[in-house]
Chain A
Amino acid sequence: MSRNPYVRPISTTTWYMRHGRYKVYVLRELTSFLVMFYSFLTIYGLSALTGSAERWDAFLASQQSTAMVVFHGVALLYFLFFQTFPWFKLAPKAMPVQIGEKKLPDSYIIIGHYVAWLAVSVFILWLAGAF
């Protein structure tokens, strides 16, 4: 082997642009910004809840704008397709279920996650009185 093997130069800042699969990976990882954003938005809401009803209503009013409707709408779709659904897809790899000698088929685990997610979502929205 040569003393100075050739190392193909790869950009450390734009490497993911070379392949579709890498782009999807980066898009998926960017949902962590949304997790941080909505966590702190909720914490900000909690700070308003420590006060009077007027302060809480002011917080709710401050969140109402067309721009925020668009932002939340896009964020919801982006989060579903780049965090929630991919997470369910990898669940059988992360948590394979073995019963005796047999392994539970991947599809069962994935469908189980979707069913549980629907139940959790309906419960949260029901608890919040959305319907």
Chain B
Amino acid sequence: MAIAKKAVVWGLFAAGGTLTSFVFPALIALFLLIATGNVPEGLQFDQIRTFAVSWLGKACLFIVLFLSVWHAAHRLRVVAHDFGIRKDALVANAVYTIAAIGSVLAAFYLLMIG
């Protein structure tokens, strides 16, 4: 792999790892609150919609989701190798396709919200 390309791929991976480390505990905690039935006020329809409609909200959600799925895809590719699956080209295609689908869906839904 050319050095320039490698820097971009590695940069996205590292950024995703840092972002997930910082953001996902709070994200999981919010899903935990939802699961217990104590839905926080900011996650009620009007408030969360207002956030997702704003361009700042859209940008935050998209960047977090985009970097997270690409970071996870890259690691899942290595995990497959670690568990003895030696068809790397196939695995790479599968995980990066999942990441691409996630990124496109996130962008699509964010734009649909208005």
Contacts and interface: CB of A to CB of B under 8 A. Distances in A.
B82 A36 contact: no
A125 interface: yes
Contacts of A108: none
Interface string B41-80: 1110111110110000000010001001101110110110
Size category, B interface = 35 or more
A46 B113 contact: yes
Interface in B86-114: 86, 98, 102, 105-106, 109-110, 112-113
Contacts of A75: 28
B28 A12 contact: no
B31 A72 contact: yes
A-side interface mostly: helix
Nearest to B81: A12
A42 B65 contact: yes
Interface in B3-54: 14, 17-18, 20-37, 39-43, 45-49, 51-52
Contacts of A12: 84, 86
B24 A53 contact: no
A83 B79 contact: no
Nearest to B47: A129
Contacts of B18: 87
Given A29-B75, A36-B72, A130-B40, A56 B45 contact: yes
Closest 10 CB pairs of A and B: A129-B42, A129-B41, A13-B84, A32-B75, A12-B84, A72-B32, A35-B72, A46-B109, A128-B42, A87-B21
23 contacts: A11-B84, A29-B79, A34-B24, A35-B20, A35-B69, A38-B27, A39-B65, A43-B102, A46-B109, A46-B110, A49-B49, A49-B109, A63-B35, A64-B36, A84-B21, A116-B22, A117-B22, A124-B23, A125-B40, A128-B40, A128-B42, A130-B30, A130-B33
Interface of B: 14, 17-18, 20-37, 39-43, 45-49, 51-52, 61, 65, 68-69, 71-73, 75-76, 78-79, 82-84, 86, 98, 102, 105-106, 109-110, 112-113
Interface of A: 11-13, 16, 26, 29-30, 32-36, 38-43, 46-47, 49-50, 53, 56-57, 60, 63-65, 68-69, 71-73, 75-76, 79-80, 83-84, 87-88, 94, 116-117, 120-121, 124-125, 127-130
